[in-house]
Chains A and B, each alone.
Chain A
Amino acid sequence: MGDERSILEQALAWRRQGRGVALATVVATWGSSPRPVGSLLAVEAAGDFVGSVSGGCVEAAVIEAAQSVIASGTPRRLEFGVSDADAWAVGLACGGRIEVFVEPVS
């Protein structure tokens, strides 16, 4: 139910079905952040996902990055800061910052 084990199990199940999979992990947080360090999000090539790195604020951007990581096979680091509501920019409403590491499961 959203814990690390079930997220990793889903990643493994997708991989065994031959689907491309990437794992996104919160590796650092500054200030108030919605999910703690170590929080996981598993994404498969078509965009299905389990888990969460921000409780919903930046998931869409992370899923998009994960799909590019699945295609390229190269890990990426992403940083998200405070959102700019007027510009509809991707960000965290809580005012914190997070760093997310996205890697392919190969």
Chain B
Amino acid sequence: MKLATLEAVLAAQARGERAAILTDLADGRQALVVGGEVLGMPTLGESERALAMAAVASGRSRLVETAGERLFIQVVAPPPRLILVGAVHIAEVLAPMAALAGWSAIIIDPRQRWRQRGGFAGCHVVGDWPDTALAALAPDAETAVVTLTHDPKLDDPALLAALASPAFYVGALGSRRTHGARLARLAAAGVAEAARARLHAPVGLAIGALTPAEIAVSILAEIIAVRRGALATGGGG
């Protein structure tokens, strides 16, 4: 691999873009796929080009074998994002846990006192109100959003923004009883039934979690299960 190819792939990642490296396994010749273009390998056929684009879109690396040719497509995607609303105890454990699992963790909390308690080293902490912060962060299909504050003033604006976004997972911490009241508020705010059904609450897999760390494990496990297709994308945990 040329140094320039490596640099270009990492630069695309830093911009939040997917890129791919195409390698001819017979001789090691390479092309770079970035911004919808294939750079290098001018002899590449139309069908191989289309397969490379499809691999980038799917986010999955794959081997393409055609008559006498073996092309490997290595997709390098930015990490998925986990946005947490509330700089609370569970966030202190969940954010570093998610970072260890390869996620980019972002914490939103407009309450300075909570933000300043520390425990968020290496995480991106945003002090705006959740609706403003989420508008700027623009959750995409590789983003999970979880509200943790138990305070409707903070949680509800975040849920309204998250449920209206392409985020693949939206979850809310809280009991079944408070969730009933939450669903009623969301309905009153005009959130359609299909969007309300997307909400995971009570959040996390039922593993009998009690401590903040155990609750963080159950939340992260549920998010991974949904992302990997092992669980449905909506409904209560």
Q: Measuring CB to CB, which residues of chain A are less than 8 angstroms from any residue of chain B? A: 1-5, 8-9, 11-12, 15, 23, 25, 27-28, 37-38, 74-75, 77, 101, 103-106
Docked-complex contact A103 and B74, CB < 8 angstroms: no
B residues with a Cβ closer than 8 A to A are 1-3, 6-7, 9-10, 13, 23, 25, 27-28, 60-63, 72, 74-76, 78-79, 99-102
Q: Give the total number of A-B pairs whose CB atoms are below 8 A apart.
A: 61
Residues of B within 8 A of A2 (CB): 102
B198 CB to nearest A CB, Å: 27
Contact of A8 with B10 at beta-carbon distance under 8 Å, contacts A28-B63, A105-B1, A106-B1 already known: yes
> Once bound together, how far apart are the Cα atoms of A1 and B104, in whole Å?
11
Given the interface pairs A2-B102, A3-B102, A103-B28, the reply to whether A27 lies near B72 with Cβ below 8 Å is yes
**Do A37 and B61 touch (CB < 8 A)?**
yes
A5-B13, A5-B76 known; A27 vs B63 contact (CB < 8 Å)? yes
Is B75 in contact with A38, judged by CB distance below 8 angstroms?
Answer: yes
Among B2, B27, B102, chain A packs the most CB atoms within 10 A around the CB of B102
CA distance in complex: A28, B28 (Å): 15
